[in-house]
Every structure is written in C-alpha cells, then in structure tokens.
Amino acid sequence: MFKIVNREEMAQGTIVLNEIEAPRIARKAKPGQFVILQANEKGERIPLTMADVDPEKGTITIIYMIVGKSTALFGKMRVGEDYFAVIGPLGKATHIEKKGKVVCVGGGTGIAVLHPITRGLKQIGNEVITILGSRNKDLLILEDKMAKVSDTLHICTDDGSRGHHGFVTDVLKDVLEKEDIKLVVAIGPVPMMKFVSKITKEKGVETLVSLNPIMVDGTGMCGGCRVSVGGKTKFACVDGPEFDGHEVDYDELSKRLQAYQSDEKMSMDICKQAEVK
C-alpha cells in the first residue's frame, strides 16, 4: 500500500496535490518520468507524471485535475489513506543538459510536470525563462515554486485576471524575438503545445513536449498510448513521454484523447446519481 502523507487542494479544489509514500520509486525517479496509480483493486489505472520527489523522505508528489470518475475517486482520498498500487518510475527521463538560454512553457496541470524539469535545467547552469498560463488566476498553480527555479517568470491568463492578458504564445513570440533561445520545453494542453511548436519550428528552436495519451499498462504492450511522431508510430509509455515537438501529429493525438469523452461523462453522471441516492 502507498500512504498519502500530505494532501492539498489547489485551484478552488479542482486540482489536488498528493504526497505519497513510495520509497523505492523516490530513490529511482528522475524529472520527466511518470507513475501509474490505482485507488483500489478494481480501480482504473491512471498515469501521472511526478511533480516532485523526495528520496530522503521516500515520497513522490503528484498533482491532478478532477476531470473524470477515477480522478474524482482520487480526490476523495485523505491523508492516512492508501493507494492500492503505484507503479513506476516509468518512461524516459528528461535529457537535461546545459544549453544556455532556455524557455519553459507550462499550462494548467502541465505546470506540475514542468517544475522538476525547470529545476533541473536551472541547477546545471542554464538561464531559465519561464512562461506559465491558465484560464484565470484561480487556476494558476505552483507560481512560487516556479519562480524559485527560474531567472525570469512570466504569467499569462486568458481573462487578464493575472499577468499578461492573453496566451503563453504571445509572450513566447516576444521572448524569441529578443533572446537567443536554445531550447523550449512546453507542457500543457495539446492546443498549447501544438501552437508553441509551430512558433518554434518557424524560428528553428529545438522544442520538447510531454504527451499524455490514453494509457493502460505503461509497458508498451497494449498499444493504447500510441502517437505519431515524425510519421512513425511511437508509444508514450516507453518511447516518451517527451518527444520532439516539431514532429508530433497533434491533430491525431487530440482525436484519440477525445475518443472516450462520452463514456467518461456517462460514468460521472452515474456516480453523481448514486451519491444523491
């Protein structure tokens, strides 16, 4: 069993942080890797990239948005309760090297995934410019932590309630015009990563994105997490989750992510009806 030792509600309770006892995973995990969690024996297997790791405490931290039945079940778990299973670390770790000036772009819960990568890039001597975006100020997460691992921090909100009134791509364009950027790391909603990659491709700037397709086993056997990268089929669980942003077929990825939305909604409706009764 994997005990929850700390729980925080973020973004008005729609985003939840869990710090979980998982000493063997904490000793091995590196930035960019993920785990698969099950709330109970019959629960769905949910892949989540680790937002932080503490090898001394033997804990890993995950941050997730409540969007379906399984994450709603996660959200009801409290400190002292156990996950039935936490499997990992899975996937390839981020290749962190000294590049010079780098830009880290995060949106939504992708900011949680971006945090350890940004910290790693900063620690080895890169100058890090970070751009964070959310729909509004209440959905913005980890601003203080990201500020500590960045040389420059830009905030963007769609409604203008915090920082730049507009998208992260607005600020990115300006930064690319003024600075000699060697690498961009973008993690967030698929449309965000798509348009960031389009901009950087035009500028010829190396770009990494982290993908979160539908996943089942996490070992490359089921094929559920297949994505098209550079015209070839890749599996996010073993070939990723990070890929060259200029090579990803984002339209195909979006269609696959939407494949089970109606089933997910029906499942959530059934759960809500059961709670009322």
Print the SS3 string covering the chain.
CEEEEEEEEECCCCEEEEEEECHHHHHHCCCCCEEEEECCCCCCCEEEECCEEECCCCEEEEEEECCCHHHHHHHHCCCCCEECEEEEEECCCCCCCCCCEEEEEEECCHHHHHHHHHHHHHHCCCEEEEEEEECCHHHCCCHHHHHHCCCEEEEEECCCCCCEECCHHHHHHHHHHHCCCCEEEEECCHHHHHHHHHHHHHHCCEEEEECCCCCCCCCCCCCCCEEEECCEEEEHHHHCCEEECCCECHHHHHHHHCCCHHHHHHHHHHHHHHHHC
Statement to judge: residues 6 and 125 lie in one domain = no
Q: Are residues 157 and 62 in the same domain?
A: no
Q: What is the pLDDT of residue 275?
A: 63
Domain that residue 76 falls in: 2-90
Q: What percent of the chain has pLDDT over 90?
A: 80
Co-location of 125 and 52 in the same domain: no
Is residue 275 included in any domain, yes or no?
no
Mean pLDDT of 23-30: 96
Last residue of a domain, one of 55, 90, 125: 90
- Look at residue 15 and tell me if it is in a domain: yes
Task: Tell whether 216 and 138 lie within a shared domain.
Answer: yes
In a domain, 114, yes or no: yes
Position 273 scores a pLDDT of 65
Residues 181 and 208 in one domain: yes
**pTM of the predicted model as reported, rounded to 2 decimal places:** 0.90
pLDDT digit string (tens) for 53-74? Answer: 999 999 999 999 988 888 889 9
What number is the average pLDDT over the span 249-271? Answer: 79
pLDDT at 271 over 70: no
Q: Quote the number of domains for the chain.
A: 2
Position 52 confidence tier, pLDDT thresholds 50, 70, 90? very high
Q: Are residues 181 and 234 in the same domain?
A: yes
- Tell whether 108 and 83 lie within a shared domain: no
Domain termination site, one of 90, 111, 145: 90
Mean pLDDT of 121-142: 95
